[in-house]
Every structure is written in C-alpha cells, then in structure tokens.
Amino acid sequence: MDSVLRAVGVYLILLVLLRISGKRTLSQVTTFDFVLILIIAETTQQALLGEDYSLTNMTIIASTLVALSLVFAYVDFYLPQVSKWVDGAPLIVVRDGEILKDRVRKELVTEEDILESARQKHGIERMDQIKYAVLEKSGDISIIPAE
C-alpha cells in the first residue's frame, strides 16, 4: 500500500508543478529543459521505489501510474471544468496583429515565439499578417492568418 500512496503522491506533485510552470514548459524542450527532465526523472524514481527495487514493487507502481492516467482521462472527458484546471485551456495571445501583452507575459510567450510559429506554419513574416495566435493546451501556438 505504501508504494501506491507514494505513486499517487508523486503523480499529483508532478502534475501540480508542471501545471504551475506553464504551457510552454513541455512544448519546446531546450537543452536546459532536457537536463531538468532527466534530474526530475531520477529523483522521482528514487521517491517512487524507496528501498524496494523488486519486480513486484515496480509492477504495483507502474500499474498505479497507468490507473491514475486513466482516471484523469475519464475525469477530463466527463468533467470538462476539471480538465480546464488540469490541462488548461487555449488562450488567444494575438488579436488582429496586436499582442495581448498581459497574456503573453503571464504565459511567458515571446513575440519571437509567435513569429516563429507563424513562419513555420504559414510563411508569415510580420505580426500584422496574423488575425489570431492561440496558445494551445499543448503549449503549441496556432496561427490564423489575416485575410
């Protein structure tokens, strides 16, 4: 039972930490982010396993984590308001070529991030060519070109 409680605790702690860190944290992994992920993985593994490295303990922990993932999938499907808290919601960051400064500041999105997405997806070079830019739940930026 101790392994199950540790797995639930670690899962919830990581969920909260990643939610606090913002949408852009996982969408584009830099070298720094990759190193951070490796360190978090190692510390998480130690917290999950404790002193018990048995196959049975690993099976219990892995099963618990998969079950938690399924529970959150059902919660997301049947309770969309909870999904918005866990996964976030899409957020408009550019409207009619104008950056919504309070939103980009809150989500740590730069003008260059928006223009990079616009160049890659639509060949857009300037902000005035963008009708809407939306920061998606995944951290990606969707671009709707101006007509």
CA distances from 70 to 2, 29, 64, 146 (A): 21, 26, 10, 40
Higher pLDDT, 19 or 103: 103
Residue 7's nearest CA partner among 57, 76, 75, 81 is: 57
Please tell me the least confidently modeled range out of 22-31, 44-53, 84-93, 126-135.
22-31
Domain ranges in the chain with CATH number 3.30.240.20: 91-145
**What amino acid is encoded at 53 in this protein?**
Y
Condensed to tens digits (0 to 9), the pLDDT of residues 24-78 reads 666 667 787 788 888 888 888 888 888 888 889 989 999 999 999 999 889 888 9
Beta strands at 130-135 and 141-145: parallel, antiparallel or unpaired? antiparallel
Q: Which fold does the domain 91-145 belong to in CATH?
A: CRO Repressor (3.30.240)
This prediction's pTM = 0.71
Q: Is the pLDDT of residue 10 over 80?
A: yes
